[in-house]
Amino acid sequence: MAEDSQETTHFGYRTVARAQKADMVAQVFHSVAAKYDVMNDLMSFGIHRLWKRFTIDCSGVRRGQRVLDLAGGTGDLTAKFSRLVGETGEVVLADINESMLKMGREKLRNLGVVGNVEYVQANAEALPFPDNSFDCITISFGLRNVTDKDKALRSMYRVLKPGGRLLVLEFSKPIIDPLSKAYDAYSFHILPRIGEVVAQDAESYRYLAESIRMHPDQETLKSMMEEAGFEQTSYYNLTAGIVALHRGYKF
């Protein structure tokens, strides 16, 4: 999905200056950070845990490997990867948002996840890591908030090791029409109300619903990954395409 122009982009359904989007997204996640995990469970009826488990299962991560959990938020994937890579491996939880990174660090330390996890505040479009650094990169429900998705995908490709793989877990386009209509009604009427009651922030959850609709569909994202250099790209529709897991390799 092409951006509107070189100077503007979308923030939900609004057109904004490209230079403004990162700050606007940051405000959303500063606002929702404290209630992020609770809202994830409520919004998805807990199914997000199954989507993330499937992502872990598809990652092929093994002991001793180095993993980047990009836009890692409160660290659900990082906690699982930490156990998989063991003492000889490393997981980097990276997020552009300081509030989310702080919540992730506190949550994982409370769970006893220490030793092989590093926390880095990073912009997906310009990752602060050397070339060929990671065996696996995951970005879970984060790519749709990135201003320049093509640039971010190229950045991820650069820091992957040859033979490494990228997994993008993201909301996508439902493949069953009646479900699509029900999903729209839920997203635009019920979700903001839940956000208002639980997080005292209906507007941020209205943006999140809009950002899902503006995100590239399954085939478009697959093509974007291929244009960034990834090979053997594929995707799995989860919950009838409400969410899709894309995977691509660097050779």
Angle at 202 between CA 198 and CA 208, to 5 degrees: 105
The domain that holds 94 is classified in CATH as: 3.40.50.150
Whole-number pLDDT of residue 158:
98
pLDDT tens for 38-51 read 766 777 888 999 99
Annotated binding site: 74, 95, 123-124, 140
Residues spanned by the domain of 79: 8-175+207-249
- The alpha-carbon radius of gyration of the chain (Å, integer) is 17
What order do you get walking across the sheet with 66-70 strand by strand?
117-121, 90-95, 66-70, 134-140, 160-171, 243-249, 231-238
189 lies in some domain: no
Whole-number pLDDT of residue 35:
63
Q: Say how many domains are in the chain.
A: 1
241 lies in some domain: yes
pLDDT tens for 46-66 read 899 999 999 999 999 999 999
Whole-number pLDDT of residue 34:
65
219 lies in some domain: yes
* pLDDT at position 93 over 60: yes
**Parallel, antiparallel or unpaired: strands 90-95 and 117-121:** parallel
The structure's pTM equals 0.87
Annotated binding site for S-adenosyl-L-methionine: 74, 95, 123-124, 140
Q: CA neighbours within 13 Å on the CB side: how many for 189?
A: 6
193 lies in some domain: no
pLDDT tens for 126-164 read 999 999 999 999 999 999 999 999 999 999 999 999 999
191 lies in some domain: no
